[in-house]
Amino acid sequence: MIQRSPLLMILLSAVLLTACTTPRPVETIRQNGDRLYALGDWSGAAEEYELIVQRYPGDWKAQYGLGLARLKLGDANGARNALEVAHTRRPNHNKVADALAEAMYQQGRENELFAFLRERAESTQSVHGYLQLARYAVALNDPDSAQVALETAIEVDDGLTVEPYLQAAAFAQRLGDLDTALRRLRQAYGINPYDERVKQRIRELGEVPGPTIALPPGR
């Protein structure tokens, strides 16, 4: 039988204790959090991101991931706390701002949500910002604000993409205004006649996509 000296046993114990107590690298934790989130394990993902946040509260990626996981768990208050930190660190990041808006929406903070979205849209003068304002205005049954936001998005976009026209068409159709919905889709077709979404929506309204159906962009 092999005899181990007391000193050797102490050294082995110290090595094992160090191995057990050494914290995992941050990127290892982050990757596992991302993996758990992708698998739909929101609780497990939140626990992993929380470990990073406890060590590095200013890590915006961890705060963003934590906010997303808490949104999935129905914890709007906790999500907003994390996402506000992420937004402070990355104020121009659309996905962070979108998640923060969703947290406010789930909290039922309508006035704060509209103030946040309006300020962001006006300060960035971005199509994305105005379309987000329009989406939440529709969700909160404020058609006037939605209409203004959509028209502003179309103006800011200046005929570059079909996105504001698709959303404007959906809004018009929601109101039962099929003529306006078709006009917006025809404008979208004029911008990109190869977009399958546009062509499908035109067909759903009883028209056939083709060169003669295209209209120039604009409000």
pLDDT of the residue at 6: 54
pLDDT of the residue at 219: 80
pLDDT of the residue at 23: 84
The ranges of the chain with pLDDT < 70 are 1-21
pLDDT of the residue at 4: 54
Angle, vertex CA 200, rays to CA 196 and CA 203, nearest 5: 145
Per the listing, tokens 């982050």 go with 30
pLDDT of the residue at 218: 87
Residue extents of the structural domains in the chain: 32-108
What is the residue type of 30? R
Given CA atoms 188, 193, 198, 201 in this order, what sign does their dihedral have?
positive
User: What's the pLDDT tens digit per position in 6-16?
Assistant: 544 555 444 44
Q: Candidates 3.90.180.10, 1.25.40.10, 1.20.140.10, 3.30.750.210; correct CATH number of 32-108?
A: 1.25.40.10
pLDDT of the residue at 14: 44
The mean pLDDT of the chain is 92
pTM over 0.75: yes
SS (H, E, C) the chain: CCCCCHHHHHHHHHHHHHHHHCCCCHHHHHHHHHHHHHCCCHHHHHHHHHHHHHHCCCCHHHHHHHHHHHHHCCCHHHHHHHHHHHHHHCCCCHHHHHHHHHHHHHHCCHHHHHHHHHHHHHHHCCHHHHHHHHHHHHHCCCHHHHHHHHHHHHHHHCCCCCHHHHHHHHHHHHCCCHHHHHHHHHHHHHHCCCCHHHHHHHHHCCCCCCHHHCCCCCC
pLDDT of the residue at 147: 97
